[in-house]
Structure 1
Amino acid sequence: MINNLKIASIASYDASGISISELKTVNFFYGANGCGKTTLSNFLAYPDSGVYEHCSISWEGGRVLKTLVYNKRFREQNFGSGEVAGVFTLGEATTEDIQHINNKKRQVSDLRGVQVTQQATIGAQQARLDDLKEVFTNDCWAVYKQYEGDLKEALRGSINTKPNFRDRVLAEKQSNGSQLLTLDMLVSKSETLLGEQPIRIDTIPLIPAYENLVTLESSAIWQQVIVGKTDVDIAGLISKLDISDWVNQGRNYIQESEDCPFCQQPTIGDVFRGQIEEYFDESYEQDKVRVTAHQMAYLSLTSAVLDTLDRIEASEASKIDSKLDVDAFSAHLRALHSQISENTLKIQGKLEKTSQQVELTSTAPDIEALTVLIRQANDLITPHNQLVANFNNEVTALKQSAWRFMVEQLTAKITAHEQRANGLQRGIDSISSQISTRSTEISSLDAEIVDLGRNVTSVQPAVDEINRLLRAYGFTNFSIVPSPNVENYYSIQRENGELALETLSEGEITFITFLYFVQLTKGGNDEGSVTDDRVLVIDDPISSLDSNILYVVSTIVKDLIRFSKDGGNNIKQLFLLTHNVYFHKEASFINSRSNGDSHTGFWILRKNQNITSVTAYGISNPIESSYELLWREIKDWQRNSGITLQNSMRRVVEHYFKILGKLEDPTLVDQFETFEEQQICRSLISWINDGSHTIPDDLYVQTPDDSAERYLAVFKKVFEYTNNIGHYEMMMGDAA
């Protein structure tokens, strides 16, 4: 049966629509013409039509039943031509045949009942599983949020929704065997790999042959005292005066003349010249050449070293992401420049005064510090370049490691979730397997029922039953006969043999189509569908009927209602829609009661501002009589937009005071004491008479809220001044 339904965005149902829940076995819907009843019945007949894309039906246990709908469309489709499809029923079946079929159907019903219970159990288990998943999903998301700032880019691709992230975590738990890295390592790699695609960085060149430079700086030659030959006569004087370097410089000024370059006296002779040359012998010159050679080597080495280091400094300082500690490098380089400049001056002094001892400052500490900085930078550049060379693979590995890290953070929660979820899923799978087994049993029983029904079904019993009812209710000038043209079809024929369909009155067509529908509820248009379970929808079956036939139809409908509530047959649910108060009252009055029971529900459809709404009344029948309905319209005037208020008030006054009380309008007016009150009463009578015969155009006239409130107060005073306030309070529900 249908548990719930929704109708929206069709005819007078707006986008919000209406939702009808807690439907019963028998459901009464009352509503005025044009309030949406036919739209509701057409939807139930053709729920898959494209025009109902915003409507929905919820079936109990998910089992969709055949729906038979009696409405205007049914009449047009089945009686639009001269031939009517036959109805197969079990009319010729023996008591034993019917009992055998009913036993099979009862077995099917029992099995389906168990399935419904099991489906409900699965639903409850699934709800628990869904709740468990939601909690776990939020746990996963909370961990993601914790590391979102650091790992968002690495995890990108499965974080567009919480469920997607949860599913990815569970999948990675099963398949991810990548290396588990620390968060710092992941962040570092992410900065390299997930920003702009990195490019290769050239390694920094090492300082060329700086070991030779250090060796030169520690050479013994800088401490060596280089002087002339000591066994020459003049050597004693030079040594005593410590003027070896001065004399050596003066040698370049000794000319062929005998004028001394030192004292400018004619004292230079061959002997003196000979002693000078002998003093500065070949050994002296060789030592001096060695000093010069050391100087040239030092200048060459330092030039190469400083040139290399200067270029490194300039290059790395221009890079935003240099791996070199440029500040420390520059500090050591400035110190090195200073040291080399100082050593160069010392060496130059040694050449000028070879007898002096000089000590060069060692550049080794700064050069070694610079070398360490270069190597440290290269240690960072090398793996960076390896990443560049294997970029795509490294990005993939990073993302895998990021997911591995997330799984590690959630390991305890994953284990707990899987244990509980797997237990619930095993229960669901077990029950589903049982449902599947029972479905096989049901299919087998259904096939047996179809075979049994096929052997005992016929269209003739339906013909006989329709004709019997026609004769019983006075329709004697036509009957249903088997079609002479098409097997298992009917024709409507006059007593003289003429076809009667085109000459039937509207009431006759309505009645005969309803009788045909009733037979169809007991059978089917083919042998295989006779025993199918079904839902019945009856929409205004008394349209165009005489009042005496109304009671006939209501009696037939009550039989269908009792048949539906019995539960041991193929009618599983019934919907009755009508606008006729009397028919509603008659059809709903069963077993000396007008209110429903646990199997019956009541609803009223209303249309306000061209929009349909629904009110549920549970098992309480809201339609007791037309008079009570008028009072209900007055009580609920705001819900009904006030359009029917004047008409309802007029009819109450006429029925209660004029027809029952024999009081005319002037008499009612005279009950008011003052002239002003009498004028107000006359105004009320004029107002309700005016509004009861016309319906204002909603496009131009707004709901008369102020007038309605004012005249409702006068309406009450009419009952008060005529000593009928007790009746007013009873009908309005205002009695204390």
Structure 2
Amino acid sequence: MINKISIKGPASYKNMAVFETDKNINLIYGLNGSGKSTLSEFLRKRTDNEYAECSISPLLDEDTEEILVYNENYVNDVFYSSDTQKGIFSLSKENAGARKRIDAANAALQVANRDFQKQELLQEKELEAWTSTKSIFANRFWQIKTQYTGGDRVLEYCFTGLKSSKELLLNHIVGLAKPSNKLVDSIDQLKEEIQRLNEAKGTQIPLIQEITFSAGDIEIDSLFKEVITGNANSRVAKLIDSLHNSDWVKVGLSFDTKDICPFCQRPYLDDDIIAELRSYFNEDYEKAVADIESKGKTYKDSIDLIPDIDFY
């Protein structure tokens, strides 16, 4: 049995208040706002943080003792009456919470349905307005078509394939791109120009023959990204590469000067110098040069096959 309640902190209990009794049944009464509900709520939720400075004595044996509180908050938590089902209650805190959420969802659904109906009504009005406007323009376009087609009217070709229905003509005109510049020619001017073109009976000019160039891949051949050098193992390789005169040396070697050096015009002092020079221009060098010459000839021949401008 509880014989002492100490409470401080919540609501009107700014200072410590102590209730002591040795009776099994106790009646607590007072004016509104005097703290009766706060006292009962403490007994219902003793472990909440707001009741940290409150206590009861003696402490309860949680295994065998329980405090039951029936107050307004308990009723609100456990008993829930739906506005849509008068007289029917949901019992237990969990059911009451679920029922509240269901009613809130139903209320939101009703609002959404009303908004949806408004949007449907607005859509119907917009569709009616669009249909009316579309009909006005379709009739106007058809009237213009009737005015400029039939008989010997020169503008009739503008309506080729569009004279079978108003819908077809309307869709075609709506799909046309808006001119970037303001039209300055009148209908009569257009008719006169078309009349002149019809009377001229011009001859269609044939299409220009497509120019083909078969050697385009040569321009991106990897060979032209390489530096062609001779045999790097030759004794004269470093000298020739540093002087950048390999072409001059190669031409000089082509002259038959017997025992006279083709470069300095002196007798050979070392019989191996010509052999060293010739070894610089090895097989790989000659192959690369020949490849370039071959591609150059192919490229030139392809250019020669392109017709002269006078051909067109």
Same fold (TM over 0.5): no
| More helix by percentage | 1
Structure number with bigger Rg? 1
Between the two structures, name the one with larger relative contact order (CA 8 Å, sep ≥ 6): 1
State the TM-score, normalizing by the size of structure 2. Answer: 0.37
